[in-house]
Amino acid sequence: MEIKIGSAPDSWGVWFPNDPKQMPWNRFLDEIVEAGYQWTELGPFGYLPTELNQLRSELEKRKLGVSSTFVMRALEVPALWPEIEKEVLSTGALLAELGSKHLILIDDTHTDLFTGQPIAPARLDRDGWKRLIDATHKVADIVQRFGLTVVFHPHADTHVEYDDQIEAFLSDTDPAKIAICLDTGHHAYRRGDPVKFMRRHHARVRYLHIKSVYRHWQQKVEAEKIPFAKAVGMGMFCEPSEGAVDFPAFTEVLREIDYRGFAIVEQDMYPAPLDKPLPIAKRTRAYLREIGLG
């Protein structure tokens, strides 16, 4: 087992490229190092500097490596393809220059994150599903030019979130081109068992997001149909040591399969008081060391 532990802007309450509620990017970079991490994701495109020399300088002086970043778009909507292609090309080129090997791809949400109002069908019909699968393969083909692999991220309130949807996605995509980013918290949020999933599908899982949920909050959110962003604001996602995901058991599976790759800590927080993330990040880093995860 060889795990590279990192964190991400998400754990500092960053969801958007620009938002006055969010922590300034330079403070985030300082604090992720102070918390004990050597790897970071870039977060939403534009949050960290996008000019290569500036970004590289800021990372190098903190001895931080970049594991990946994400593109999140409605992959099943053909009219969006020109925008998706442009974003994938620019993001892929930047990641390659920084030595990254993965691009995280996420289908966009089918609800408004803040109101919970539907903006697309919760489940795609056959044609919509085929468009999503085809677009995923097209993204994979593009990023291969940069030496990157797509790691697809099943995500709450998207068209790939529940176990049956993830199984269908795995069945319908080319394992030579497309891997999975298993987000333990999002998987548990939709009643999945990330320990069992990892044991069953470890050959396709090339990248991990480490997070957890409070089970009682998950049940309340599901029963009352609380919007995702509101659930996050209520404190749905919690420190790994406190939530529903059995991380000692998860770590044991990683040992059994000899997992080699990234495990990036994310604890969804938005908005987050500026003094909240760092103590949590420090406690989480200590807990992961304690259980032998990194």
Q: How confident is the model at residue 294 (pLDDT cuts 50, 70, 90)?
A: confident
Cα 5 from Cα 265, distance rounded (Å): 7
Q: Is the dihedral of CA 150, 13, 4, 89 positive or negative?
A: positive
Contact between 9 and 37 under an 8 Å Cβ cutoff? The reply is no
pLDDT tens sequence across 114-128? 888 999 999 999 999
Per-residue pLDDT at 276 exceeds 90: yes
Report how many domains make up the chain.
Answer: 1
Question: CA 92, CA 99: separation in Å to the nearest integer?
Answer: 11
- Domain of 211, CATH number, reads 3.20.20.150
The three state secondary structure string of 221-235 is HHHHCCCHHHHHHHC
Query: Given this model, what pLDDT does residue 227 score?
Result: 85
Nearest to 70, CA basis, from 51, 37, 48 = 48
What is the mean pLDDT of the segment spanning 242-262? 97
Q: Structural domain of residue 133, as residue ranges?
A: 2-290
DSSP code, position 270: S
Helix/strand/coil (H, E, C) string of 2-35? Answer: EEEEEECHHHHCCCCCCCCCCCCHHHHHHHHHHC
- Encoded tokens for 189: 């949020």
Distance, CA of 28 to CA of 14 (rounded, Å) = 9
- Other Cβ atoms within 10 Å of 42 Cβ, number: 25
pTM as predicted: 0.97
Report how far Cα 196 is from the mean position of its chain's Cα atoms.
19
Output the pLDDT for position 271. 86
pLDDT over 90 at 97, yes or no: yes
CA distance 249 to 228: 27
N-terminal to C-terminal alpha carbon distance within the chain: 9
187: left (phi over 0), alpha (psi -120 to 50) or beta: alpha
- Reply yes or no on whether the pLDDT at 284 is more than 90: yes
Which is nearest to 271 in space by CA: 164, 129, 114, 155?
Answer: 114
